[in-house]
Structures are given as C-alpha cells and as structure tokens.
Structure 1
Amino acid sequence: MGKPLDPDMFDPVCPSGLSPIRVGDKWAGMIIRCLEDGPRRFSELRIPLRGVSAKVLTQSLRSLERDGLVSRTAHAGPAQRVEYGLTPLGRSLLGPMDALCAWAEEHWDELLDARESFAVVCDEAV
C-alpha cells in the first residue's frame, strides 16, 4: 500500500472548474483540432463535426471561449460573419494533445480490449 492520500490535496479555493479538460465534453478536443490551421466559421466546423448538433457545438464553443482557449470574432459588413480561432492559450494545448494522441494510438488495442472486457462484465452484472 502506498502513502495515504493527503485529505487536503484538493484545495477548496482551487479553481478546478476552470480546467479546460472536460470529461463530459467530447467535442472540445475535436474543435481545437479543427481550429489548428486557422480561424473557421461555424458552418465550416459543422462539416467534420457532423455528429454534433448546432446547440451542442455552440455550447462547446462558448465553454472554450469562456476558458480563453478560443476567440470569437464578428466581422461587420454586408456579409456579416463570425469566425472562431485559437487563442495563444488554446494553441498551447496542441503539443499536449499531440502527445495524448500518440499515446492513444500506441495503446489503441489495449484501450479497446479494456472497454470490451468492461462491457462484458457490465452485461453479466445486469
């Protein structure tokens, strides 16, 4: 058995709600990847992210904007348009995301096996 966990390891003052890593938002990483090569319009994002509803995409973009990872720029003129782009903070996530993608690729078979085993165990428990 390892060293006991510190009961104060999670500082109650810590802004953990500001964490850009969201288990519940499966679209954030994909949105960041879509913006990697430059700003995009909402309609452009909908193409590779066709599995997300407009409402959920809007919510994800707003969350990323709130966290300072994505900027929203409204262009005035006869053809008004809005573009979303990575901020410097958002762009700083690309390296860690590359590392996570490489890790997932290296361990893909193990991850799939674990999920399949878990599904079997859960099915048997029901």
Structure 2
Amino acid sequence: MNNEKLLEKLKELSQYAYVPYSNFRVVAFFENQGDQNFYGVNIENASYPNTMCAERVAIHSAINNNVNIANIKKIHIFSPDSKDYLSPCGGCRQTISEHIKNDCDVIMYNNKGESIRKKFSKIFPLAIDQKNIKGAKK
C-alpha cells in the first residue's frame, strides 16, 4: 500500500474509535506478511482504567481471530486529533513486545500525515520478557 492510500485508510479507520470522553481518536495498523494486516482503535469507558488503547485492541483482536502475528513488519499509529507524533504508551509497548521482533518499524504520524520511523528496540529497549519472569539462567 503506498503512503497516500495508507494515510487515507488510517483516517478512515480512526472514525471507528469510541471516544465519547476525550474525543481523541487513535488507530493502530499492523502490517503483517501476506494479507494478514490488522488494526485496532481506542475504546474508551466511563471507568477510565477499562479504556483500551488502539494497539492492544489490534493485537487482542488479531489473536482472537487466529491471525498469525509472528511476522509483523510495521506498526502505524495515527490520530487525526494529534498535532504531535503519536507513540505507543508504556502498557502498549509491553504488549507489543510480546508479539513482535525488535527490528519491527514503528511509524508514528501527526494529524498532517507527517511521520517519523523508529525501530521498536529504540522506543522500548528493556522490555520484560519470559526470561525475566522465569528468572536468570544458571
């Protein structure tokens, strides 16, 4: 998908966000190998801790729909409501780290469609992973 078409798709998908409290729409679009691309939008809740970010909605939805997410190539994060480049929050970074390779590109957009690109390892260098939970190897 070329950049112009991708940006139009991101704008279209952002309209599905459920944001009655903040009016701040976010879409996360994951490019996977083949035709297994998937996305999520943020979903707010009056009980704020129950709000879900677009990135986690995308990953959970993909897993729930039996999408093989082992080969994510790029993650696009966009909000038509943000003047700044939009990056994943800490909780989303941890969730993303569970499912992607560190060399995955994260493309963060502002509402003008301008973007910056970073390797995931640069925006989240010290993720907690299985070896941390199981303890150090002897």
TM-score by length of 1: 0.23
- Point out the structure with max Rg over C-alpha: 1
Structure showing the higher strand proportion among its residues: 2
Structure number with greater CO (CA < 8 Å, separation at least 6) is 1
Structure showing the higher helix proportion among its residues: 1
